[in-house]
Chain A
């Protein structure tokens, strides 16, 4: 059971457990330093000392080389960036005429982004070095204890072999963890740092410098001013993002359950055929199917021709719902919002239908049977047996679906990019549109307007909203599910 309630259930406890582990790590280090012999203490300065004392010369050599490498890294690499970290560089790039070569040359300028990135990289390397340094002392203290108690001390070959046996997890985890650190952890930290700088189109390295601006970008997002409309746009984009995630999640979730009940009903003939038809729509990649939808529903597209042929366009114009000669399915506010949610139902129901089918197959049949004997009608059965069971099994998936829809880049971008143009000047001034989600907005800010500082602030807000929502939802759900968890 411990395994099953782990993971999501313990997000709240995750931080606590993490800091607990750090505490234990420091305690071990303290004991080793206090109780270790002279060589253990010497290991604080010379990493190989403890190993050399136990005649593990290969290991002593490796640790010494590692220490030398870190010192070399610090002196030759980190020291040319970290000292400039507080200003992010002061020397502007300029072309200078060099009398000696009779040519214009670039001066020795500072590149703010490199300074930021490499300083951050150095901090991470130093943090890792610190852990290795402490771990090393703990290890040589263990060696000392083994030697004192007369237990066997491994030679180098035995040590190497242990990486395929009791230390196999280190072999397994080192590369994936390195990948995660370089491609997830460092980028997230970098993004957080950029949010506190003025890195944008006017401050683009290498020709220009950028620097720290404190919380200025955050106040631009939360406060409005005459020159900045980010606050105005942020509230609207966040509002639509929440509305969209709510409807996109609920419509596809319940639609998927209903579809699966329909398909798996005893009355249905040819279930497999129908299911294959639905699954086919998943197999077409979204960039094909959604771009196709965009053109089907465009102002000159097939659906518009059809609507005008059957007189729907004229009727809508007569009752005043539209003012143009075509139905602006994806190009006017309101229309576009509703259409996006409807098209997303088309995209999402087959997925949810597959999942619901899988879950409902395991629905305890005895409960259904007894409900039928008690004279429950199909709706009552659905309301009191099927739904509670579905919610119990797929509840956590519902939360992750909400977060996924919150960041559902594909549907919004592929359906509205180049088609939807905002007429709201305040929105346009912040490069936002009424149909944008926070992620599509920040994507456009980075890709087309190079406004990295605001994109980073928005990115942090996305994380905050998702994290808070997930925490609350899971705590709520765990509270409700406790009884069943104990069964």
Chain B
């Protein structure tokens, strides 16, 4: 009996030790990021994991703009772009989702089929042509161009929200219709209030797009002036070969500062995320 218990305790310990090792391995780069941001040395520390001397100086440096680093401006730019993208994308997604889920009209199926085919084109491809076009009209290096790139086609991502609207009981809509509501009132007063989870998910995920994105902002803003950059392009620039020795630690500080709001939002969104990905996949 006693030997069995020892064996079980051993298995328990072994099992948790494996998990602990894996998780530490995963978190290690993040720990390195945070530790390095508190280093007093501005280049990359290549000999030890922890900084030799701890200091807050680079937090102060990052928040005081110079010729290369304009982090506060970049942060505000990204924030502004994220707000606009969030408003436009959320509206578009909810509008398309409602029309395809609740309403019945002749063009519904053909439109959904076209959307399936369009979704097979990787977003990058269309963006390259959008880039030639924006360049012809001198709209590259502008925030309006970037907001449009993020949000104009967002209607194509309607399937997750549609899947949710499909579960709203139709009897609710019928009852509202009998009470004399028109379709627009059902949308605002019945379906939207009963769909809070999916609205939160749509708002957060569209707000996060500009924060997490790198390629589109690099494409659109690359040749512009530093004051117009988003966080992604600006931080990427700090690691240029000629700048990395002066700005590496500031890059880490920037990484930490931009991760904090994102992690908060991501933790809120986490439980919708799983549902969204699996649902969206099953329904296409």
Residues of A at the B interface (CB closer than 8 Å) are 3-4, 6-11, 13-15, 17-18, 21-22, 113-114, 117, 161, 164-166, 168-169, 171-173, 175-177, 179-180, 182-188, 190-191, 194, 205, 259, 262-263, 265, 267-270, 274, 276-289, 291-293, 295-296, 300-302, 304-305, 346, 349-350, 354-355, 357-359, 393-394, 396-397, 400, 403, 406-407, 409-410, 413-414, 418, 439, 442-443, 446-447, 452, 455-456, 459, 462-463, 466-467, 470
Q: How many angstroms from the CA of A269 to the CA of B166 in the assembled complex?
A: 38
Q: Does B212 contact A (CB under 8 A)?
A: yes
Q: Check A350–B99 contact: CB distance below 8 A.
A: no
Q: How many angstroms from the CA of A180 to the CA of B95 in the assembled complex?
A: 14
Q: What are 26 contact pairs spanning A and B, CB under 8 A?
A: A3-B166, A10-B113, A10-B116, A13-B113, A164-B182, A168-B183, A168-B184, A172-B98, A176-B95, A180-B155, A183-B148, A183-B153, A184-B153, A188-B121, A190-B129, A268-B15, A268-B16, A284-B263, A285-B259, A287-B236, A288-B33, A289-B255, A295-B44, A295-B248, A346-B29, A413-B215
- A-B contacts besides A169-B99, A205-B136, 8 pairs, CB < 8 Å: A3-B283, A15-B117, A262-B19, A262-B22, A285-B262, A288-B255, A289-B30, A291-B235
- With A7-B159, A173-B96 given, is the CB distance from A295 to B239 under 8 Å? yes
Tell me the nearest residue of chain B to A193, going by C-beta.
B129
Tell me the smallest distance from the CB of A276 to a CB of chain B, in Å.
8
Q: Does B278 contact A (CB under 8 A)?
A: yes
Those 3 A-B pairs whose CB atoms lie nearest each other, nearest first: A7-B284, A8-B284, A176-B155
Q: Check B128–A455 contact: CB distance below 8 A.
A: yes
0/1 interface trace, chain B 104-120, chain A, CB 8 Å (1 if under): 01111111111011101
Contacts of B130 in A (CB 8 A): 183, 187
Q: Does B1 contact A (CB under 8 A)?
A: no
Q: Check B116–A283 contact: CB distance below 8 A.
A: no
Q: Does B79 contact A (CB under 8 A)?
A: no
0/1 interface trace, chain B 145-176, chain A, CB 8 Å (1 if under): 00011011111100100000010000000000
Contacts of B274 in A (CB 8 A): 354-355, 357-359
Number of A-B contacts defined by CB within 8 Å: 300
Tell me the nearest residue of chain B to A273, going by C-beta.
B23
Contacts of B183 in A (CB 8 A): 164-166, 168
- Indicate which residue in A168, A171, A179, A466 contacts B151 across the interface (CB closer than 8 Å): A179
Q: How many angstroms from the CA of A128 to the CA of B108 in the assembled complex?
A: 18
Q: Is the interface of B mostly helix, strand, loop or mixed?
A: helix
Q: Check A291–B125 contact: CB distance below 8 A.
A: no
Contacts of B148 in A (CB 8 A): 183
Q: Does B59 contact A (CB under 8 A)?
A: no
- Indicate which residue in A168, A283, A396, A459 contacts B128 across the interface (CB closer than 8 Å): A459
Q: Check A267–B15 contact: CB distance below 8 A.
A: yes
Contacts of B95 in A (CB 8 A): 172-173, 175-176
- With A7-B116, A15-B117, A291-B251 given, is the CB distance from A452 to B132 under 8 Å? yes
Q: Check B46–A269 contact: CB distance below 8 A.
A: no
Q: Does B62 contact A (CB under 8 A)?
A: no
Tell me the smallest distance from the CB of B198 to a CB of chain A, in Å.
16
Q: Check B126–A184 contact: CB distance below 8 A.
A: yes
Q: Check A18–B18 contact: CB distance below 8 A.
A: no
Contacts of A172 in B (CB 8 A): 95-96, 98-99, 103, 187
- With A262-B19, A292-B29 given, is the CB distance from A180 to B128 under 8 Å? no
Q: Check B110–A17 contact: CB distance below 8 A.
A: yes
Contacts of A168 in B (CB 8 A): 99, 103, 182-184, 187
Tell me the smallest distance from the CB of A241 to a CB of chain B, in Å.
12
